[in-house]
Amino acid sequence: MSNHKTDIPKAWRRLARLAGALLLLAGCYPPSALEMDYGNSVRNNIAQQVVNPKAGFDPKPAVGLPPQAAANEMEKYDKTFKGEEKKALEMKLLNQ
């Protein structure tokens, strides 16, 4: 004898089976582009150490741009956004 209140309805059992089947199918989904790239940075670092194993002992730091050249590049970069700000402001004024 079973109590009707303690029985799990058939709909819930079907839903549980469907959820289980979907979980099993999710394991068969192909890896994303990000997952396919896992480990490449480590392999690259190992390859760089093979090319120059004493690079970490070099007291001379890596240099970038000279200060004036870097300032000029940043100024050019900042100017690229000024046109976008004007366009955004014009669009905002037109929509009012």
Q: What are the structural domain ranges in the chain?
A: 10-54+65-95
Residues near 70 by Cβ (< 8 Å), separated by ≥ 6?
Answer: 64
Distance CA 42, CA 49 (A): 11
pLDDT average, residue stretch 60-78? 87
Distance CA 57, CA 4 (A): 76
Q: Answer yes or no: is pLDDT of 72 > 90.
A: yes
pLDDT average, residue stretch 78-90? 76
- Cα–chain-centroid distance for residue 86? 30
Q: Answer yes or no: is pLDDT of 52 > 80.
A: yes
